Chains A and B, each alone.
Chain A
Amino acid sequence: MGNWVVNHWFSVLFLATWLGLNVFLFVHAFLSYEKADKYYYTREILGSALAWARASARCLNFNSMLILLPVCRNLLSFLRGTCSFCRRTLRKQLDHNLTFHKLVAYMICLHTAIHIIAHLFNFEHYSRSRQATDGSLASILSTLSHQEKGEGSWLNPIQSPNMTVEYVTFTSIAGLTGVIITIALVLMVTSAMEFIRRSYFEVFWYTHHIFIIYFIGLGIHGTGGIVRGQTEESLNESHPHRCAESFKHWDDHDSHCKHPRFEGLPAESWKWILAPGVLYIFERILRFYRSQQKVVITKVVMHPSKVLELQMNKRGFSMEVGQYIFVNCPSISYLEWHPFTLTSAPEEDFFSIHIRAAGDWTENLIRAFERQQSQIPRIEVDGPFGTVSEDVFQYEVAVLVGAGIGVTPFASILKSIWYKFQRADHNLKTQTIYFYWICRETGAFAWFNDLLASLEREMEELGKVDFLNYRLFLTGWDSNIAGHAALNFDKATDILTGLKQKTSFGRPMWDNEFSTIANAHPRSVVGVFLCGPQTLAKSLSKRCHQYSSLDPRKVQFYFNKENF
């Protein structure tokens, strides 16, 4: 428990602040509409539903403002860069931007539901009081529009008893925009479900751009002035506390109280969403500008199992380890940008990505390069964007775990560590690395295999054999492979990979690994970096808490997960 608090205190604080602000805004707006004299007559017809609708509207404005900020990745990268002197825990929060984006989205959905339900009741109450013939205050108020000609000092938007609520909804600005933006929200949410997003990324990517409709609609939504409150003048003249009871006598000439006059609430959504909207537009322009810079492809390598390596150059491009870029190929698709982790080290004079055939776009790309035409397809690149891996050199002991395709960022890290080591770079605090590579079969990662083999050779030459300790775990083994391995037990190199380190079968026993590392480095800060599935993240995170000593001077495990 203590370790969890140490590792997560900032997240908890941030979320608590966000929730606190939501609650505050909700309660503040609720009380203001429930108690204010300005809305006395409005409440007469609508009851508490007015306050519920307005309070949820305030929260909707707040969250709509927040939701654009976590997806401004250039802005976030900039913040990360300027924060290089910041504490580790603060910078890690910027990596949880997508998690925050989703949380805010869920909050928007919740408040949308409250807002719509409250307004359904509001419309129903308006409709009933318009049709009421009992001469109650509510019905008098509803007929006000007939009294004042051309002034628009009405309260009830339903102008005649025959008008249905459906008609009013679709002929008022608020109603129509409300329906449109809610449909947009529903479409965005259903296409962003994890299953759809991971399996059919293009559906998610294109549909999610409906947010433009959402924001424009939200800005227009309040301009109709359908929420009415008594004017200042009218309040001074005939205050509801004095005049509400004598509503039957409003028509009399000698009455102190006159008919109350109403005005619509001005739109306030635009005030909330203008700044983030501008920031986001700026972000997109920046992305476009960066993508227009020329990318020169210096080398194309086709690896076994349909893996394409592209080595490229771009003016002004500088990267850190484990960062990723977005790649677009106009000849395949103008609008699609796909993320790829960089597999080259910053010390190299080019940057590279390894692309595996995993869907429509990637297969088309690989095919386009396989054709070996004289004119290779043009590539546009946006990035690089930062991830947690930049911290890897700050830890004395680094435990790197790559599962399946998650091994890719570690190519960059290992290469960079190698270069830094060669040049005796002072920034490299790392003394020992434990690298765990877990995959079903090594086919698609033969290129990574070669990297490990060359690193192994170089370490041997330098005589620093214990700097890099790596273990490969094959989870897709069968009795044939195991039997074959058992047979060749005595050979110096592993029969499957050709590496000195023998391949293990099955999954690593993390308890053993962690306790061995904790015993070998009793006073170090150990950084654990994972790029892999969520279940593994939970397992490693748990072990990190378990094996970290409560004494801050003894061994501490910090868990960092990279997500795509």
Chain B
Amino acid sequence: MGQIEWAMWANEQALASGLILIMGGIVATAGQFTKWYFGVYSIGAGVFVCLLEYPRGKRRKGSTMERCGQKYMTKVLKVFGPLTRNYYIRAFLHLGLSVPAGFLLATILGTACLAIASSIYLLAAVRGEQWIPIEPKPKERPQVGATIKHPPSNPPPRPPAEARKKPSEEEAAGAVGVSGGPQENPVPVIDEVV
């Protein structure tokens, strides 16, 4: 099990816990249960956890599937630097966040799940994993303007002499308009000056 990145699983678990916290919180608040204010806290904590966990980190080996629209949160998380990169901080943060929700039955499931996510993050941190943001690949824009201005300074590349002797299709296709060379035009070519 040497190559497993525990942080990836911890991330899924934490995201699920966040959703469970939000749901439990909504039920408690809407139903006006006793100690329903813990429900309000739970909704807030759940939203925070979901936002924090939404951007998936980059895998060390192989390509990573991004979650839909995660690049906005990635930018926000990058701002915090080591606070979001380090998994020890995340583990203790999640543990801390989960405690108040444990006082209300409706959110206690969220507490348990978040605590488990926190322990998996601790394991990931101990193994030296870090959260690496997935950078968008720089788009290579075709430089349309640059080539038109300057005429080519080198002659077009020609295949070596031996290949030129065979009348291959590529040469025929590329030979229109190129003067001289081994091409013999069956029909006289008249250059029309435009």
Which residues of A are in contact with B by a Cβ distance under 8 Å?
Answer: 113, 116-117, 120-121, 123-124, 127-128, 165-166, 169, 179, 182-183, 186-187, 189-191, 193, 195-196, 199-200, 202-203, 359-360, 486-487, 489-490
What residues of chain B have their CB less than 8 Å away from a CB belonging to chain A? 1-6, 8-9, 12-13, 16-17, 20, 23-24, 27-28, 31, 33-34, 56, 59, 62, 65, 103-106, 108-109, 112-113, 116, 159, 163, 166, 168-170
Q: Is A359's CB under 8 angstroms from B3's CB?
A: yes
Chain A residues whose C-beta falls within 8 Å of the C-beta of B168 in the assembled complex? 489-490
Residues of B within 8 A of A127 (CB): 34
List residues of chain B with CB within 8 A of the CB of A183.
Answer: 109, 112-113, 116
Do B16 and A202 touch across chains, with their CB atoms under 8 A apart? Answer: no
B5, B16, B17, B169: the one contacting A200 at CB < 8 Å is B5
The distance in angstroms between the C-alpha atoms of A222 and B14, with both chains bound, is 30
Distance in angstroms between the alpha carbons of A186 and B20 in the assembled complex: 10
Residue in contact with B166 in the complex, picked from A116, A196, A360, A490, CB distance below 8 Å: A490
Query: What is the total of A-B residue contacts with beta carbons within 8 Å?
Result: 86
Question: Residues of A contacting B104 with CB < 8 Å?
Answer: 166
How far is the CB of B191 from the nearest CB of chain A, in Å? Answer: 29
Query: Whole-angstrom distance between the alpha carbons of A120 and B24 in the complex?
Result: 9
Contact residues in A for B5 (Cβ distance below 8 Å): 199-200
B21 smallest CB distance to A (angstroms): 12
Residues A200 and B9 in contact in the complex (CB < 8 Å), given A187-B116, A486-B170: yes
Contacts of A360 in B (CB 8 A): 1-4
CA distance A199 to B3 in the complex (A): 10
User: Which single residue of chain A is at the shortest CB-CB distance from B15?
Assistant: A190
> Are A165 and B105 within 8 A (Cβ)?
yes
8 closest Cβ pairs, A-B complex: A190-B12, A190-B13, A200-B4, A165-B105, A124-B33, A120-B106, A360-B3, A190-B16
Q: Evaluate contact between B105 and A169: CB separation under 8 angstroms.
A: yes
Distance of A116 Cα from B24 Cα, bound (Å):
9
B193 to chain A, nearest CB (A): 33
Q: Nearest CB to that of A118 among chain B residues?
A: B27
**7 more CB-based (< 8 A) A-B contacts, given A166-B104, A490-B168:** A120-B28, A124-B31, A124-B34, A182-B109, A183-B116, A203-B1, A490-B166
Instruction: Kindly identify which residue among B4, B17, B28 contacts A203, using a CB–CB cutoff of 8 Å.
Output: B4
User: Can you offer 15 A-B residue contacts whose CB atoms are under 8 A?
Assistant: A113-B23, A120-B24, A124-B33, A179-B108, A183-B112, A186-B13, A187-B13, A190-B16, A193-B12, A195-B12, A196-B8, A196-B9, A199-B8, A200-B9, A359-B3
Q: Which of the residues A179, A191, A196, A489 comes within 8 Å of B170, measured between beta carbons?
A: A489
Contacts of A190 in B (CB 8 A): 9, 12-13, 16
Chain A residue numbers with a CB within 8 Å of B116 are 183, 187
In the docked arrangement, what's the CA distance between A124 and B104, Å? 11
Asked if A487 meets B31 with Cβ closer than 8 Å, knowing A179-B108, A359-B3, the reply is no
Of all chain A residues, the one with the shortest Cβ separation from B35 is A164
Chain A proximity of B145: nearest CB distance (Å): 23
Closest chain A residue to B160 by CB distance? A487
Q: How far is the CB of A100 from chain B (nearest CB, A)?
A: 23
CB-defined contacts of B3 to chain A, threshold 8 Å:
200, 359-360
Contact B9 A203 (CB under 8 A): yes
Q: Roughly how many angstroms separate A236 CA and B23 CA in the complex, as a whole number?
A: 43
Bound-complex Cα distance A199 to B1 (A): 12
A191 contact set on B, CB distance < 8 A: 9, 12
Are B105 and A199 in contact (CB-based, < 8 A)? no
Chain B contacts for A187, CB-based, 8 A: 13, 116
